[in-house]
Each structure stands twice: as C-alpha cells, then as structure tokens.
Chain A
Amino acid sequence: MMSFYYSYQPLIDFFLIAVGLGYSQQLALRAGVFSIATAGFSALGAYATAILVTRYGAPVPLAILVSAVVGMAVSYVLSVPLARLRGAFQAIATLAFVQVVIALLLYFEGFTGGAIGISGIPRVMNTGWLLLAVLVTIYVIWSINRTSVGRVFNALRQDDSVAASLGVPIKSYYALAFVLSGLIGAVFGALRSLYVFNIEPVDFGFHAMVASLTVVVLGGRNTLLGPIAGALIMAILPELARPLAENRGILNGVILILVITFLPNGVGDELVYWLRRRLRRTPKTMSKREEGTDVVAAD
C-alpha cells in the first residue's frame, strides 16, 4: 500500500488539485453561468503566490491569502458584465478573459517572467495539505447547499426568469456564485504553484480550460461527487492506456465518448441519483444529510 502510494503520489496530488479546480468550475455552472474562467483564476492565484514567495519572501499563508483576495476581486469585477450575457456568450467572454490574462502574463516579462515563467517556487504542498484544502472546499459547498443560497443557485440554472419573477435578486446571486468560483480557482492555482516548482503561462491556456470543463461534465455538474469522479477518471485514463504507448490518445477518446454517451449527466451525478432512487424506496434510511445535499431531483 505504501509502495503504491509512493509510486503514485504525484498522481494523487494532481488529482486533488484537479478536484479543487473542478469545484471552482462546477460552482459557476451550477448557478447557470457558462463560465470557463477557472483557468484564468488559477493563473492569477498561481502567479500572485509565486511572485510573492519567490521575489518578496512572503510567508506562504499570506501569499495564499493574497491569491484568494485577488481571485475574489477579479471574479467580482468580471461578474458584472457576465450577468448581462447568456449561455455561449458567457463562455466566449470568459474565454476572452483567460486569453487576455495569458497574453498579459507573456507581455509583462519583467514581472511575470514572460514565456519562461517563474521557477524556484518552494514545494510546501503535500498530499496532506491538498487533501485538507479539498475537504474544506467540500465542507464550504456542502454548507452552502444546505442554505437557501444553494436552492437559489439551482433555480437560476433552471430558469432565471422564474427566479426573477419570484423576487430573487439575480445579479447578486450570480456575483456570489462567480466570486466563490474565483476564490476556489485562485486558491487551488496558488496551491498548485506551491507544488509544481515552476509555472508558465501555457499551463493555464486552452488545455487548462478544457481540462476543468471536462472534469465537471464527465463527473457531473450538480453533485459534490461530480468533480471527484471526473478528476478520478481523467487521472486514471492516461495510466490505464499506457501500454498502448503512442496510440493511447485513441483509447482515451473512445472511453470519453462511451462514458458520456451512457452516463450523460456525468458519472458522479448518475451515481448519486441512482443511490438516491434506491434510498427513496426505503424512506427510513433517508437521513437529514441527503436532504441537505439534495439537488434538483427533477433534473
């Protein structure tokens, strides 16, 4: 077991980071914001922490705190114009945001290291800390789901005009969901930079955007299990197909198509729905906790 852990430790750690970024992505989608800005938030968080720690010798907790504040501030500012847009237009606006962030990181070379990026970042993260960060994130989202805020998010996703007619201040809730997404994205970006020794702009490009989105769509957009399941599949896939060497792209592709075709709500969500259906049949076992995490049974 220990030997397994040592051999796969980086895989486990990257899995945890992917789960964190997945939650950032999921929060936005859950509230009906088709955002792919998570890569941009994680870039800002990663660079803020990396620059503070390597250039100014800032203590790590302070650097992470600054990253969190930067993530929240930027996502708040971004949420204002995004509330005016819909669906695909939100996706493209956030795509533009990420592209601008990357272009600026490349341009302000003196400050960001340009294409070469920033290296010599101390590795202070390990499996324990990352696990703690993921657990805290899950707890926070779980708590939100139990309050009325969680239900409003679900209402916004399903039909925001109904929500508006019921007197819900849509814009504030959009902003709240987006700021949370920015916060989590930036913090996990910061944690990642404290794990990988060096960062460069391409780490946060189109591939990073697509990766977070894939984790959530594959795992599920509504339940807490979603990003965990999605990140797990994305972590295991490359290792599973390794014997195929240069042909493993084909197997990865086939598996992605098959999984989502047969489980279109995402593996995690489908699993939760299935469990819930089983539990419903025997109402006695339905605890208060499932009530709390209950999300859109009608979906």
Chain B
Amino acid sequence: MKLSNLFTTCTAMALLPAMAAQSDEYHVVVLQALTGPAAFIGTAVADGMRLAEQHINEQGLLGEGNTLKVTYADDATDRTQTMTLIARYANDPSILGILGPTSGAVAIAGASSGNQYEMPVVTTTNTPEVLEQGPWSFILTQPPEITIPYLVDYAADVAGAKECAVIGIRDIEAYVALQKQFEKLMMDKGVKITTVEQVGGTDSDFSSVATKIATSQQDCVFVSASASQGANIIVQLRQAGLDPATPVFGHNAFASPEFLDRGGAGVEGVTFIADWVPGGYDDFTTAFATEFRERFGHEADNWNAVGYGGMLVMANALKSMEEPSREALRDQLGKTSEVRVAAGQGSYSVDEKRYPHVGMNVLTVQDGAFVQAPR
C-alpha cells in the first residue's frame, strides 16, 4: 500500500509541470447493478449520472480547470462482486468515492465494505440500515418514513379512504419497506387494512389476487411495485372487475413513462408520490428532461432523475473539499445542503442523521399524462 502510494505521488509529481497549476482531476466510481435483477434501477441511475457527468465537466461545476473523472462498473446485483470491487477501488488511491451499490442486501453489504475500507459509498437505496453500518455510508433516496407520509396524508385526508387493500412485491426489500410504512401510518390514521397480498418480483400473472380483491369490499387499493409490474397489477385488477370508483395508490416507482405505456387507460386516476415529475416542472427540470431525451432517446424516469441528482450531490461535495481526500469527501457529503437537483421538490439536503431530504410530489394520471394531484 505504502509503495503504491509513493508510486502514485511520484507519477503525479512527474506529470505536474505538464498540467495547469491548481487543476485537479477528481475520480469517482459509479458502481451500480447494470446487469442482474436490480439492473432495472441500476442502469437507469447510471444513465442519469452519465448525463450529470457531462454537464459537470461542460459547465465547469467543479471550479476552473478541475475535471471529474468517472469510472462505471457493474456488480451484476451480486454481493461478491460488489465487495470485491469496493476492496479493489479502496486500494486505488486516486479514487475518492463510490456512487453505489444499487439496492437491497447488495447495498448493505457495500455499505459495510465502505466502512471497513474507509471509502465513502453513496448507495442508491432508501433503507436507513445502510447508515447504521458506519459514518462512511450514505443513502441517496429518502427513507419511507420521509416519503410515505406525503401519500398517507393524501389518501386518508384528501381522498378519505377508510378501508384499504394492499398488494406488494414480497422479494424486493425497498418496496416491502415502503409497503410496511404505508400500512403502519394508515392504521395510525384509523384506516383499516383489509388484506395484504404478496406477489413475486418476476411474476406477471396476478389474476387470482386480482379476483380476490375485486370481489372484496374496500375503498382504497395500495400497490407497492415497480412501474411496469404495478401497471400490470392495476390492469389485471380492472380486468377482474374492480369497481372503477375505487381509488388506487402507489409509490415513487410509478413516476416513469413505462407506467403509462404498460397501463394505458387502465391506470387512469392512479395517485402516487413521486421523486420526479415526468417532463419537469420548472426551467431546471425541463432542461434535464429535454437533454436526457436528446442523449438517450427516451423520456427520463424516476431513477434517471435520482441518478442525475446523485452525481450533482457528489460534485457539490467534491467542490466543497479543502484538500481532496476520502475523509474530506465523507465530511462534505454529510454536510450536503440545498443542492439543486431534478428529483423531488428540487433542493437536496442531508440532516444530522444523514437522512436525505428532497421533498415529494403527489401525482395522478389524467388523460394519459402525469399531473399534480388535485387537493
């Protein structure tokens, strides 16, 4: 380790005259699940980060002459690979921090590794367990206790739900956490949870569950699933004869063009909370939406926006360091305050517990498009 440090220093010194004074290259790694079960999230987050990387370097967001160097790596949603890669990057002194891993047990294992090697890791997931692993791990998305109240307030107070049926994916931990929080907060508000149905993360046949709910009594259905699967569940609920007047609720995964593509007329009127308002709602967010479409050829979704913001938060912390070091980066990530991002209500801060706060929007589907839900 010592030797390789010395070597790097020597190389850096040899290169110094060739470079402009004061110019630094900040090297971070994007370590996401680009293949495997969490690739649906990981690839989208990585794309958002690619666009942010381009913007940061084009606009010189790191200060005059400073550049951001990003290495993209795939852990294949595999804990072995995540831990191996973090160990390897920790051994490379040029790397300051890691954006990733993506979610679930892989994220928690990655967080543990980050703390073990004293390498800042910003996981995409929303579970506070990542933070419990030690001071070097962070979460990029808001935990359910911050996001779900936006939805529960709407469902119970605005829509006036009294009896709610719940359908959730049983094997995707982030969605399970959201679902549990929803059940808990609804019950705190005196709403009855009539039934909780669990389906598998790769299932596509929901006819039995749909018939069971469509033939029962409730005035609210909450679906905790990914955009495409959620749309599919809702379409099958409608086909099984669910009363069209029964409001259907969901969480932030639905804020994706995919939800409309899959669901069509079937998802009209579905209400959910969202990190991202598709298409954007002000200059900054519409610019992001436009440029994303130009670069990647499709509409930005929730996870693209989250990834874009994640890289901006990283850039902000890099810029705020007095001397580049992993320790300084860790401290600055913990002090993140009011960074402009595309997700949520646009301003990203981290509180003393290292919980991120960026706000949530309540959206509904109207005439095949997402609009802010009427109050």
CA distance A14 to B189 in the complex (A): 47
Contact with B along A70-106 (1 / 0, CB 8 A): 0000000000000000000000000000000000001
The smallest beta-carbon distance between A99 and chain B, in angstroms, is: 11
Contact with A along B119-131 (1 / 0, CB 8 A): 0000000010100
Tell me if B105 counts as interface (CB < 8 A to partner A): yes
CB contact list, B144-175 vs A, under 8 A: 170-173
B80 to A, closest residue via Cβ = A14
> Do residues A196 and B79 form an inter-chain contact, with CB atoms below 8 A?
yes
A234 to B, closest residue via Cβ = B80
Contact with A along B72-113 (1 / 0, CB 8 A): 111010111101101110010000000000001100110011
From A19-27, A113-121, A164-172, A254-262, give the one contacting chain B.
A113-121
Contact with A along B1-28 (1 / 0, CB 8 A): 1011000000000000000000000000
> Do residues B34 and A246 form an inter-chain contact, with CB atoms below 8 A?
yes
A115-B170, A120-B132 given; A198·B176 CB < 8 A: no
CA distance A150 to B326 in the complex (A): 55
> Do residues B109 and A197 form an inter-chain contact, with CB atoms below 8 A?
yes
Chain A hits for B76, CB < 8 A: 238
CB contact list, B27-50 vs A, under 8 A: 34-35
The smallest beta-carbon distance between A250 and chain B, in angstroms, is: 11
The smallest beta-carbon distance between A201 and chain B, in angstroms, is: 7
A14-B80, A238-B81, A245-B34 given; A7·B88 CB < 8 A: yes
The smallest beta-carbon distance between B302 and chain A, in angstroms, is: 21
CA distance A116 to B176 in the complex (A): 8
Tell me if A203 counts as interface (CB < 8 A to partner B): yes
Partner of A11, one of B84, B104, B127, B129: B84
Tell me if B240 counts as interface (CB < 8 A to partner A): no
CA distance A68 to B91 in the complex (A): 36
Tell me if A292 counts as interface (CB < 8 A to partner B): no
CB contact list, A102-161 vs B, under 8 A: 106, 114-117, 119-120, 123
Partner of A7, one of B91, B104, B170: B91
CA distance A115 to B171 in the complex (A): 5
> Do residues B104 and A6 form an inter-chain contact, with CB atoms below 8 A?
no
A120 to B, closest residue via Cβ = B132
Q: Is the interface of B mostly helix, strand, loop or mixed?
A: helix
Chain A hits for B72, CB < 8 A: 245
> Do residues A6 and B1 form an inter-chain contact, with CB atoms below 8 A?
yes
CA distance A200 to B172 in the complex (A): 10
> Do residues A10 and B171 form an inter-chain contact, with CB atoms below 8 A?
no
CA distance A137 to B22 in the complex (A): 57
Partner of A116, one of B112, B116, B177: B177
Chain A hits for B129, CB < 8 A: 119, 198
Chain A hits for B83, CB < 8 A: 10, 14, 196
CA distance A115 to B168 in the complex (A): 11
Chain B hits for A117, CB < 8 A: 105, 173
> Do residues B87 and A10 form an inter-chain contact, with CB atoms below 8 A?
yes
Tell me if B133 counts as interface (CB < 8 A to partner A): yes
Partner of B84, one of A10, A123, A198, A202: A10
A115-B173, A119-B129 given; A6·B91 CB < 8 A: yes
CA distance A8 to B222 in the complex (A): 45
A10 to B, closest residue via Cβ = B83
The smallest beta-carbon distance between A8 and chain B, in angstroms, is: 7
The smallest beta-carbon distance between A231 and chain B, in angstroms, is: 11
CA distance A245 to B173 in the complex (A): 26
Chain A hits for B78, CB < 8 A: 238
Chain A hits for B108, CB < 8 A: 119, 197-198
Chain B hits for A114, CB < 8 A: 170, 176
Chain A hits for B109, CB < 8 A: 196-198
Tell me if A299 counts as interface (CB < 8 A to partner B): no
The smallest beta-carbon distance between B347 and chain A, in angstroms, is: 30
The smallest beta-carbon distance between A98 and chain B, in angstroms, is: 15
> Do residues A239 and B1 form an inter-chain contact, with CB atoms below 8 A?
no
> Do residues A115 and B81 form an inter-chain contact, with CB atoms below 8 A?
no
> Do residues B4 and A3 form an inter-chain contact, with CB atoms below 8 A?
yes
CA distance A246 to B81 in the complex (A): 14
Tell me if A54 counts as interface (CB < 8 A to partner B): no
A205 to B, closest residue via Cβ = B171
Partner of A115, one of B86, B91, B172: B172
> Do residues A9 and B177 form an inter-chain contact, with CB atoms below 8 A?
no
Binding site for A on B (CB under 8 A): 1, 3-4, 34-35, 72-74, 76, 78-81, 83-84, 86-88, 91, 104-105, 108-109, 112-113, 116, 127, 129, 132-133, 170-173, 176-177, 198
Q: What 8 pairs across the A-B complex have the smallest Cβ distances? A: A10-B83, A197-B112, A14-B80, A11-B84, A7-B88, A7-B91, A10-B84, A115-B176
Supply 21 A–B pairs (Cβ within 8 Å), ascending by A: A2-B1, A3-B1, A6-B1, A6-B87, A7-B87, A8-B84, A9-B87, A10-B86, A106-B171, A106-B198, A115-B170, A115-B171, A119-B108, A119-B132, A120-B132, A123-B116, A196-B83, A197-B108, A198-B109, A203-B79, A238-B76
**Additional 16 contacts, C-beta under 8 A, given A123-B116, A238-B76, A246-B35:** A3-B4, A6-B1, A9-B87, A106-B198, A114-B176, A117-B105, A119-B108, A120-B132, A197-B112, A198-B105, A198-B109, A200-B173, A202-B104, A202-B105, A242-B73, A246-B74
